[in-house]
Amino acid sequence: MGGHALHALRGVNEVIEDGSHVAIMGPSGSGKSTLLNLLGCLDSPTRGQYKLAGQDVAELSGDALAEIRLHRIGFIFQSFHLVPRLTALQNVELPMIFAGLHPGERRERAEVALVSVDLADRAGHRPNELSGGQKQRVAIARATVMGPGLLLADEPTGNLDSRTGAQVLDLLGRLHDEGRTLVVVTHDPGVARRADRVLVLRDGEIVRRVSGDEVTDLGSLFSSVEDADKVSEQAVQKVGR
């Protein structure tokens, strides 16, 4: 505004290894979602480079980027992003429709994906017939049905109660244990504690890198995470001491 450039991220220099589990924390406006969008090839950096498997994504065509998003990256969102008029099975089939797979193969793979998230008995249910946790598990099945090696989750437990959220985190942990790279944006220290490594963002910069165990200690200082921004800001300050 007013002719001044606004930089959502600045000086970010990070390598995320295959098979790692990384959490990204920080207050609102710190650049968490922007970083996740870059990792997911949804946005491109205006300066610098983002290399995915050694390839500078800025050199790729729009079609090539779409293929990467379809086959190599799975996206999981706080609000699920399910199509209301479609059943759970049909929602899981969507990426395969875009990939041009045969209907028989689509159905078979979608059924297997729903079994993997313990929702085989909900295949014919629409989103309004599912609980929040079930919706998120459908979204996870959809995110993994194409076999991506990278999963990006933006506040995956943000709309869930603590018990259901823990079940979703267990499921994500299982997917990570199978060899997938998992990157999770979260305000919740309890979610970040499960990660191998935590990046703490503030004003578009990575201000600290800590292990998940260190965030466990920080999270125990707070009796509530209802004010997520306050928790994240205090966590940043505490780690910085």
In order of start, what are the domains of the chain with their CATH numbers?
17-45+55-72+150-241 (3.40.50.300), 82-147 (no CATH)
The stretch 96-107 carries a mean pLDDT of 96
Q: Is the pLDDT of residue 168 over 60?
A: yes
Model confidence over 208-227: pLDDT tens digits?
A: 889 998 886 454 333 333 34
Residue 18 to residue 7: CA distance in whole angstroms:
28
- What's the N-to-C CA distance of the chain in angstroms? 34
Burial of residue 83 (CB within 10 Å: 0-12, 13-18, 19+) is exposed
The label of the residue with tokens 């979610």 reads: 191
Q: Which one-letter amino acid corresponds to residue 123?
A: A
Can you tell me the distance from the alpha carbon of 231 to that of 227, in angstroms, rounded to the nearest whole number? 6
Q: What pTM was estimated for this model as a whole?
A: 0.84
pLDDT of residue 8: 65
Task: Using the structure block, give the residue that is written with the tokens 């959809």.
Answer: 142
Which range is least confidently modeled, 89-93, 140-144, 200-204?
Answer: 200-204
CA 43 – CA 7 distance, rounded (Å): 13
Shortest CA distance to 81 belongs to which of 71, 95, 68?
Answer: 95
User: Where residue 203 falls among pLDDT bands split at 50, 70, 90?
Assistant: confident
Residue 228, pLDDT score: 44
DSSP state of 227: S
Residues 6 or more apart from 203 whose CB is under 8 A from it? 10, 30, 31
pLDDT band at 6 (very low <50, low <70, confident <90, very high): very low
Cβ-proximal residues to 215 (8 Å cutoff; 6+ apart), any chain: 23, 25, 189, 192, 193, 195, 198, 235
Q: What is the greatest pairwise CA distance in the chain?
A: 58
Query: What pLDDT is stored for residue 46 in this prediction?
Result: 80
Q: How far, in Å, CA of 29 to CA of 223, rounded?
A: 24
Count CB-CB contacts under 10 A for residue 220: 11
Among 102-111, 116-125, 231-240, which stretch is predicted with the lowest mean pLDDT?
231-240
The C-alpha atoms of residue 77 and residue 159 are separated, in whole angstroms, by 10
